[in-house]
């Protein structure tokens, strides 16, 4: 692999969703060419990429084609086929490596890494049968949350257990020969995330710690500054740094955390730019995507500077129509639409960002401009 990619060379992206699209936009403004591998003909990234390889994610032959036309390869989602990732790493084209994928694809490995690194996680047990759930809940207690060990996103593949009667739901949820994690449900005061970028030489830059609000386990709103004290902010960044160094992260990476009684607990990690980092596009001098492109291309990272405050709201399928009808009337926000045709009610279709001098000032302007807040 060329240590340093120069404009005109090609970045290959595994996965063609909105994160790939926003990565591609950042890459394009720096003059790189972009190739994407995704099975869908008109996926969000294809609309801005130079080349599209239309194939399944686990198609090794297609991945080899991507490797042939790309000078470096990255991924926009964690469920990349590990055989593909290994092949690309061996070919010297995947500076992020396969390890962060292997860890973040599996909630058990993710928790183990956090614990090995000395970080707090909710109490948890790994279970496969309903009997094991019943035993585990005795030590974990209610409320608890059961999650599929792989493949979940936006709250999919999860069941919350508030009381013993909810066990009945778990019995039907559990499939044979599958593995689950059952975790104590943390009664957190805040959910925050640390989005950071690590270069190939080990330099780390952090974006401001973001405060996140979920609706039905789907990210709804991100805002900065997070309303946390300096001690919690320092813990959050220290957790991110420990994980980054332990996993030898390259590129933009995200750690989701719960804050309870001034302690942070690691929830999840994502080896890629993250929905809670979209505000960086307008609120920071360098976005999570541009910084990612710089890292994988072997360029120096930029020192991050930020507007004092920002709010990002996700647009789901059920919101888009209303927003589009009012586009001419509503002022003062940045619109991102991901170019997805099918607007399923809970599907992430785009987002809006409002930047300003303080959160109070932003909320006041949102009210004045009658911005839908859903």
Binding residue count for ligand ADP, defined by CB under 6 A: 16
Chain centroid to CA 125: 24
Residue 259: CB minimum distance to ligand ADP, A: 11
The residues in 180-239 that bind ligand ADP, with binding defined as CB under 6 A, are 183, 185-186, 188, 191, 214, 217
The residues in 237-256 that bind ligand ADP, with binding defined as CB under 6 A, are 256
H or E element in which residue 168 lies: helix 167-173
Is residue 154 part of the contact set for ligand ADP (CB under 6 A)? yes
Chain centroid to CA 183: 21
Query: Which tokens is 353 given?
Result: 């960002």
HSE, side-chain direction, 13 A CA sphere, residue 108: 10
The residues in 238-297 that bind Mg ion, with binding defined as CB under 5 A, are 268
Distance CA 221, CA 211 (A): 8
Is residue 145 part of the contact set for ligand ADP (CB under 6 A)? yes
Residue from 104, 105, 148, 267 that binds ligand ADP (CB under 6 A)?
267
Residue from 117, 120, 155, 343 that binds ligand ADP (CB under 6 A)?
155
User: What residues form the annotated binding site for ATP?
Assistant: 107, 147, 152-158, 183-186, 191, 214, 267-268
Residue 77: CB minimum distance to ligand ADP, A: 11
Distance CA 2, CA 16 (A): 24
* Nearest residue (CB) to Mg ion, 33 versus 348: 348
Is residue 152 part of the contact set for ligand ADP (CB under 6 A)? yes
Q: In the chain, at which residue ranges do the beta strands (DSSP E only) sit? A: 10-14, 33-37, 51-53, 72-75, 124-127, 144-148, 158-161, 180-184, 190-198, 204-206, 210-215, 218-224, 251-260, 263-270, 309-316, 334-337, 348-356
Residue 107: CB minimum distance to ligand ADP, A: 7
Distance CA 215, CA 363 (A): 19
* Nearest residue (CB) to ligand ADP, 169 versus 322: 169
- What's the length of the chain? 374
**What does 153 bind: Mg ion, ligand ADP, none (CB cut-off 5 to 8 Å by kind)?**
ligand ADP
Which stretches of the chain bind Mg ion, using CB under 5 A? Answer: 268
Which stretches of the chain bind ligand ADP, using CB under 6 A? Answer: 122, 145, 152-155, 183, 185-186, 188, 191, 214, 217, 256, 267-268
């Amino acid at each position: 692999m060329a240590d340093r990619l120069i404009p005109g060379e090609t970045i290959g992206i595994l996965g063609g969703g909105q994160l790939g699209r926003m990565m591609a936009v950042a890459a394009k403004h720096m003059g790189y060419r972009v190739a994407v591998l995704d099975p869908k003909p008109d996926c969000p990234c294809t609309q801005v990429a130079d080349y599209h390889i239309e194939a399944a994610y686990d198609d090794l032959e297609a991945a080899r084609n991507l490797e042939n036309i790309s000078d470096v390869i990255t991924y926009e989602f964690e469920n990349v086929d590990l055989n593909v990732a290994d092949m690309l790493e061996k070919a010297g084209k995947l500076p992020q490596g396969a390890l962060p994928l292997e860890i973040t694809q599996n909630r058990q490995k993710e928790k183990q890494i956090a614990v090995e690194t000395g970080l707090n996680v909710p109490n948890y047990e790994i279970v496969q049968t309903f009997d094991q759930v019943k035993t585990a809940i005795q030590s974990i207690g209610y409320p608890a949350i059961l999650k599929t060990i792989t493949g979940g996103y936006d709250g999919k593949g999860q069941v919350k257990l508030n009381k013993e009667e909810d066990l009945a739901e778990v019995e039907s949820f559990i499939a044979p020969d599958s593995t689950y994690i059952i975790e104590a449900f943390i009664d957190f005061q805040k959910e925050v995330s640390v989005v950071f970028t690590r270069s190939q030489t080990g330099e780390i830059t952090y974006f401001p710690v973001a405060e996140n609000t979920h609706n039905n386990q789907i990210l709804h709103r991100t805002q900065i500054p997070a309303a946390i004290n300096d001690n919690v902010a320092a813990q959050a960044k220290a957790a991110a740094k420990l994980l980054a160094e332990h996993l030898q992260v390259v590129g933009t990476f995200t750690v989701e955390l719960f804050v309870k009684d001034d302690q942070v607990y690691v929830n999840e990690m994502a080896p890629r730019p993250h929905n809670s980092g979209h505000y960086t596009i307008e609120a920071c001098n360098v976005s999570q995507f541009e910084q990612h492109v710089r890292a994988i291309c072997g360029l120096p990272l930029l020192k991050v500077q930020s507007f004092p405050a920002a709010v990002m709201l996700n647009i789901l399928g059920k919101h888009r129509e209303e927003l589009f009808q009012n586009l001419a009337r509503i002022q003062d926000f940045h619109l991102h639409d991901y170019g997805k045709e099918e607007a399923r009610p809970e599907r992430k279709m785009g987002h809006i960002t409002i930047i300003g001098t303080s959160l109070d000032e932003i909320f006041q302007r949102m009210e004045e401009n009658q911005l839908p807040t859903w």
